[in-house]
Amino acid sequence: MNDAYSLLGLSPGVSRQDVKRAFRRLAMHWHPDRNPDPAAQDHFRALRAAYENLIAGQQDVEEIVQEAPQPQRPRGADRRQDLALDLEEAFLGCEKPVRLARDIDCEACGGSGEEHLTHSRLCEHCHGSGRVRAKGGLQHCEACDGRGYRTRRPCSTCLGSGRTQAGRTLAVKVPPGLLTGDELRIVREGEPSPEAEGEPGDLRLRISLNTHALYRLDGRDLRLVRPVSALRLLSGGELTVPTLAGPVVVHIEAGSAAPRELRIENAGYPSGRGQPAGALVVELQPMLPEDCDPQLRRLIAELDAELSRKSARYLPELARWEASWLGRKSASPRR
């Protein structure tokens, strides 16, 4: 029982109302829907168990101690900001500095927007008369309230608004796997409550992912175009492919030299919010060699001759064309 009290930050013997209040405050912070910390779920479960334990134990006390209902303190407003992430940062998770600008009372004038003058001054609007010329004739001078002289002037620091911008930088832990449009909620980092003892609101960060020079996101699939020698596609073999977690070696089946896709399950974008991890989809783009040297030319000519001999099987369209227009089954070697 004492452990349950200390988990909720309470001393033994406090009222049921205090237990409820402590639990509500901690639950706001630790609820796994609001707190991305992986430890949050377990901690929240422990808090709830402690709470239920204490509430059950206090059933009898409740009937004797009647408490005045606590007024609900107004909570501060939530603060919404955008947070742009590079794909690498979003993939691995990161700690990101987030600048929070805040409007505070001007220090120079204490928020009044005015500063006192050591000597009173003739009002420059009405030139001391207390009245100004307007459409309907002479009117009361607003600047000096009709007195003709001023003992204050607008604060030169805040230009009369009474407010200035202050700010601080928050190190935000970004869990891996967030996508554009997701929201990251940081509890109690929003606007302060209008009342001194009220809870501040939450900071709600709207995620957007920067475009990447290589990868493209398609749901949770990560797509990339990988140039590859057309001959490698024909012969099959190994190929190194970059992933956001580092390069991996994949096996290519021997087959056609036409563009094809290679799909590696679970190597794409990490899972999040109950979604499974995506696949890495490699779009293989065949490349043909250019301007070969004599040694390569010899090898290719040899290959070409061999292909010509077997054209009916390996180059059927060419074989049909030659049979139609040259009147024989296959061409003799051109070289």
Q: Which residues make up the interface to Zn ion (CB under 5 A)? A: 106, 108-109, 123, 125-126, 141, 143-144, 155, 157-158
Nearer to Zn ion, 98 or 123 (CB): 123
- Tokens, residue 98: 């987030």
At closest approach, how far in Å is the CB of 123 from Zn ion? 3
Sole residue written with tokens 């009898």: 60
Nearer to Zn ion, 47 or 141 (CB): 141
At closest approach, how far in Å is the CB of 131 from Zn ion? 8
* Pairing state between β 203-209 and 216-218: unpaired
At closest approach, how far in Å is the CB of 194 from Zn ion? 21
Nearer to Zn ion, 120 or 157 (CB): 157
Count CB atoms within 10 A of the CB of residue 190. 22
Residue 282: beta bridge partners?
Answer: 224, 262
Nearer to Zn ion, 27 or 143 (CB): 143
CB 85 within 8 A of CB 177: no
- Tokens, residue 12: 């033994």
Nearer to Zn ion, 155 or 203 (CB): 155
User: 126: closest CA among 152, 149, 100?
Assistant: 149
SS3 172: strand
Sole residue written with tokens 């998770």: 93
Nearer to Zn ion, 163 or 212 (CB): 163
CB 191 within 8 A of CB 200: yes
Sole residue written with tokens 């992986």: 38
Count CB atoms within 10 A of the CB of residue 174. 20
At closest approach, how far in Å is the CB of 191 from Zn ion? 21
Nearer to Zn ion, 153 or 204 (CB): 153
H/E stretch holding 140 = strand 137-140
At closest approach, how far in Å is the CB of 117 from Zn ion? 14
CB 79 within 8 A of CB 99: no
At closest approach, how far in Å is the CB of 151 from Zn ion? 12
At closest approach, how far in Å is the CB of 104 from Zn ion? 11
User: 238: closest CA among 258, 254, 215, 256?
Assistant: 254
Residue type, 19: V
Count CB atoms within 10 A of the CB of residue 199. 19
At closest approach, how far in Å is the CB of 196 from Zn ion? 23
Nearer to Zn ion, 108 or 250 (CB): 108
